[in-house]
């Protein structure tokens, strides 16, 4: 990720081009719930923010499609997406619309509305014990790659700019690639993951 500092401060506006979006990064929590000050290394990297400007849209075939997010929307984006810039005294990110995972309609991640080909999954609880009954530590628990689909995006665009609906539906139990997507912790303590539909390997029944 590239950081531009003084270069950006001398300008009064940033206008994203094409299918790019300018997002004001959500401030990282500097304290725990108990008021303990966190060092920079312990602060979780933000993956969300507020859309402050959008480009004119994506050109497909002979038409231009509008950006699917609007100014003011609270969004979640891929962890390593975009270029970070300091602008107007605050951190912003310029990224492609496709790097936006979904729209947050409440403060709770479980209410995420996925975009494009993204799938939002509640992760199955990891096994607490081995088959022999030994209690597992957090570090030794196998990371689950099975979960229940909470919500799905409308689907990717084809070459004509038409939406192709996903073959995965809310309520499906799915097997997904172990190291894919973005991990989130809900306010209820549950683990969630947002990933592309192509990272879902099978529907289980």
> Residue 39 above 60 pLDDT?
no
| Contacts within 8 Å (CB) and 24+ apart, 55-63 | 55/15, 55/16, 55/17, 55/18, 55/19, 55/20, 55/21, 56/17, 56/18, 57/18, 57/19, 58/18, 58/19, 58/97, 58/157, 59/18, 60/157, 60/159, 60/160, 60/161, 61/159, 61/160, 61/161, 63/161
> Residue 197 above 90 pLDDT?
yes
pLDDT for the residue 41: 42
Helix (H, G, I), strand (E, B) or coil at 8: helix
Binned at pLDDT 50, 70 and 90, residue 32 comes out as very low
Q: How many CA atoms lie within 13 A of 147 on its CB side?
A: 26
pLDDT for the residue 38: 43
Binned at pLDDT 50, 70 and 90, residue 188 comes out as confident
Read off the pLDDT of each residue in 107-131 and give the average, rounded to a whole number.
83
Binned at pLDDT 50, 70 and 90, residue 142 comes out as low
Q: Which helix (H) or strand (E) holds 9?
A: helix 6-9
Which residues does residue 3 pair with via DSSP β-bridges, in sequence order?
84
Read off the pLDDT of each residue in 66-92 and give the average, rounded to a whole number.
89
Q: Output the pTM of the full model.
A: 0.77
């Amino acid at each position: 990720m590239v950081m531009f500092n003084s270069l950006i401060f001398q300008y009064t506006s940033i206008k994203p081009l094409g299918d790019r979006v300018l997002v004001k990064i959500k401030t990282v929590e500097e304290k725990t719930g108990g008021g303990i000050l966190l060092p920079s290394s312990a602060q979780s990297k933000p993956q969300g923010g507020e859309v402050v400007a959008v480009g004119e849209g994506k050109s497909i075939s002979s038409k231009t499609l509008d950006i699917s997010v609007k100014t003011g929307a609270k969004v979640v984006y891929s962890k390593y997406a975009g270029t970070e810039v300091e602008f107007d005294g605050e951190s912003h990110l310029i990224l492609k619309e496709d790097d936006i995972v979904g729209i947050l309609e409440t403060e709770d991640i479980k209410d995420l509305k996925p975009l494009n080909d993204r799938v939002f999954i509640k992760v199955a609880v990891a096994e607490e014990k081995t088959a022999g009954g030994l209690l597992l530590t957090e570090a030794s628990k196998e990371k689950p790659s099975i979960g229940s689909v909470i919500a799905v995006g409308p689907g990717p665009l084809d070459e004509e700019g038409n939406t192709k609906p996903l073959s995965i539906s809310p309520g499906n139990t799915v097997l997904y690639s172990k190291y894919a997507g973005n991990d989130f912790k809900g306010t209820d303590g549950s683990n969630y993951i947002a990933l592309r539909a192509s990272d879902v390997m099978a529907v289980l029944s």
